[in-house]
Structure 1
Amino acid sequence: MESVLLYILGVLIILVGLVVSIGLHEVGHLVPAKIFGVRVTQYMIGFGKTIWSRKKGETEYGVKMVPLGGYISMIGMFPPTAPGERATESTTGFIQQLSTSKEPARRARYFDTLVQDAREASADTIGAGDEDRTFYRLPVWKRIVVMLGGPVMNLILSVVLFAVLLMGIGTAQSTTTLSAVSECALSSTAGRTTCESGDPQAPGAAAGLQPGDRIMSIDGETMSSWEQLSAVIRDSAGDPLSVVVDRDGADVTVSLTPLLTERYVYDANGRPVERDGEEVVQDVGFAGISPTSELVQQPATAVLPAVGDAIGGVVNVIVNLPQRLVDTAVAAFGPGERDPNGPMSVVGVGRIAGEVAALDEVPIASKASAMLGILASLNAMLFVFNLVPLLPLDGGHILTALFEAVRRWFAKLRRKPDPGPVDSAKLMPLTFGVVIVLGAMSLLLIYADIVKPINLFG
């Protein structure tokens, strides 16, 4: 029962953290919009039916039933139809390219309707006297600031959370204190993990090493880290080593002779290295000992690299998203396993958080560290994902504003009239398509996280 409650607590912590992150993302849009004088009619957390709201000044603040997103409503998101131009003829460019003689007229009319409905909905938000408080009338740089505010807020949150995690709690690091000593020596390719009669005794057990021993030095060289200790053992197969350990406060010297055995080669991310479809192995020295781990606080200089690594990981997922989604679908509907480094939905993230919270014999500090790491990575994901240059994402609005700036610069350079704001309403068909794709992707990931969840704990 306690494990179930801890699991639910872990899920709730991540859900609340995600809602707070989304809320602050929207604050990042809200504050500069109000500073620049744009009329903001709504600030909402979630989607669907409103379950609570309160109006303060000219803005309604509220929470909706599905707290997995948010938005602010600014008046005049799209410019009106150009003077003298008929509304039904305003869909040029992208729409005209789709409305060729080879395309059904019904599709062209449908796209025209999308564009016109978006433009009219935007015009309906502008009340008398608010014509100068519209979003589209802002200078380009102010529109970019408003749209960058949300992602930047998530970036700041990620930095803060990583700072608390690394500098306050610390990260788990292997120590030179032993947690376990294997009874027998098995190669990585043995295909089993239990000892059988006839298996050679592991060098650590043969030397008399015990769990709790702290390795102080090897052949007179002080051991300050597990990495240093492991390197000596790997390079000393067949060579007797004089090992000094601290056992219950007393120094004990033992003779350890590492055994030459096959071990898998792993990359920097802890994944087996493959060559020609097979996992690579190498012959190295083996002692059959395992380290304990402890939380070690990191310096401030470790924070930004950690944020950078998180951002780089998200960028890698997005760049390879089509193939990763195919792999996810194949695993979800087939017998294969999910890639632990692949994309997942909020359902999968919540499940992992619940499993972390319910782990037995894990210190609370380690669980808190894992939770902060999840939230910090989520905010790094929100930062990167919202900058993807596609509407309706923030990056799409930023790209539109930059295109307008370039177009006006070229017009000025050629001494042509100011072309005015970009009619972004014409991109509504593309926006509609992006929403459909994102929705389908979300459904696939949620389904995969339910029927074939990513297993990080064996």
Structure 2
Amino acid sequence: KILGMDPEEEVGPEDFPHSYKGVSYARRFWIIISGSLSHLILALLIAFFAIWLIGTPVLTNTVGEVGTIIEESGEETPAYAAGLQPGDTILSMNGIGMSDWEEVRSFIVDHPGEEVRILVSREGEELELVARLKRLEGGNGFLGISPRTDTERYSFLGSLGETGRWWVEYSKGVFYSFYRVFNLSTLKQLLGISEPTMERPLTVVGISRIAGQLADEGMYPFLMFLSFLLLFLSYINLLPLPPLDGGHLMVIVVEKLTGKEIDMRKLYPVAVAVLAFFVILFLLALRLDIFNPINLP
């Protein structure tokens, strides 16, 4: 607890120079931001050591598994019917070169119902197979394969660069999750109006469940999930809303710009409203985590 940070706390003249209000605006800024900064640093350290010591999984254009039957219809998957086998490396589809899984996945999704010529490398030989992609309910194409995962290793400096890229991409994910909280579709899920999906707020119950599932998949996905959680906590605490740290930062900035001290007691109603929102959000999300838990594919 920082002396004088509670507006109800009495601070004597002899203690004022060392209290929260007695130090400079810059000192107050660093006091408030230190918690979020420590979460951010810890997230980056965990991500860096996971990337450097374990390596990142990379989805390749080599077939890992071939599905045999489509459960909903009982039909053979297009991949199985075409003769695709685990270990086949997809070189091209309809003459378009494929170098990674994302290119393969995008092509499949974008060509529902079409007949596709698939050139593969199998045990050193090139074979051309023909598959007719299924059309899923959402309109996407479906072949019925999953990729083989390889591990890409990085040097110390390479791991630093990869951690930076991870930070940028996961930060986008955090900000997108903020948007999802205030999205109409999320509200419908929380209120039980629509079917719950994987894109929804989670409580500690849901987070623990996902963490357990990822731990079964290996150390790397578990550590990266932990890093994401720390990154999320770092950013959400900086939202400019009392009683979050971001609310205190907003007060510091306003006081610095106006030269006038803000009575924090006047912000109590806002703080209560924010707390009430998070409590209600937690209870609604907890109901989903208990009765409609998320199972990772």
Would the aligned equivalents of 1:76 and 1:135 in 2 still touch at CA under 8 Å?
yes
**Aligned-partner SS, 1:434:** helix
**Aligned-partner SS, 1:392:** coil
Structure 2 counterpart of 1:215, from 77, 89, 105: 89
Larger Rg: 1
User: 1:135 and 1:177, CA in 2 relative to 1: closer, same or farther beyond 3 A?
Assistant: same
CA deviation string 1:141-192 (max 9, x = no partner): 21111111111111111211221233332332223443334557x7xxx943
Answering whether residue 274 of structure 2 is matched by residue 438 of structure 1, we say no
The whole-number CA distance in structure 2 between the counterparts of 1:350 and 1:305 is: 26
The whole-number CA distance in structure 2 between the counterparts of 1:428 and 1:303 is: 39
Q: Which residue of 2 aligns with 1:427?
A: 267
Structure 2 counterpart of 1:168, from 53, 60, 72: 53
Q: Which residue of 2 aligns with 1:294?
A: 150
Name stretches of at least 5 consecutive residues in structure 2 with no aligned partner.
none
Paired residues for 1:6-405 under 5 Å: 73-77=1-5, 119=7, 121-123=8-10, 126=11, 129-182=14-67, 191-192=72-73, 194-195=75-76, 202-203=81-82, 205=83, 210-211=85-86, 213-215=87-89, 225-227=100-102, 237=115, 239=117, 241=119, 243-246=120-123, 251=124, 253=125, 255-263=127-135, 279-281=138-140, 289-297=145-153, 299-300=158-159, 301-323=161-183, 325-331=186-192, 336-357=194-215, 359=216, 366-405=217-256
Would the aligned equivalents of 1:237 and 1:257 in 2 still touch at CA under 8 Å?
no
Query: RMSD over aligned Cα, in angstroms?
Result: 3.5
TM-score (norm 1): 0.54
Would the aligned equivalents of 1:217 and 1:245 in 2 still touch at CA under 8 Å?
no
Quote how far apart the aligned CAs of 1:402 are.
0.4
The whole-number CA distance in structure 2 between the counterparts of 1:385 and 1:200 is: 44
Quote how far apart the aligned CAs of 1:310 are.
1.9
- The amino acid across from 1:329 in the alignment is L
TM-score (norm 2): 0.80
Would the aligned equivalents of 1:239 and 1:258 in 2 still touch at CA under 8 Å?
yes
Identity of aligned residues (%): 25
CA deviation string 1:84-109 (max 9, x = no partner): xxxxxxxxxxxxxxxxxxxxxxxxxx
The whole-number CA distance in structure 2 between the counterparts of 1:257 and 1:137 is: 76
User: 1:136 and 1:341, CA in 2 relative to 1: closer, same or farther beyond 3 A?
Assistant: same
**Aligned-partner SS, 2:127:** strand
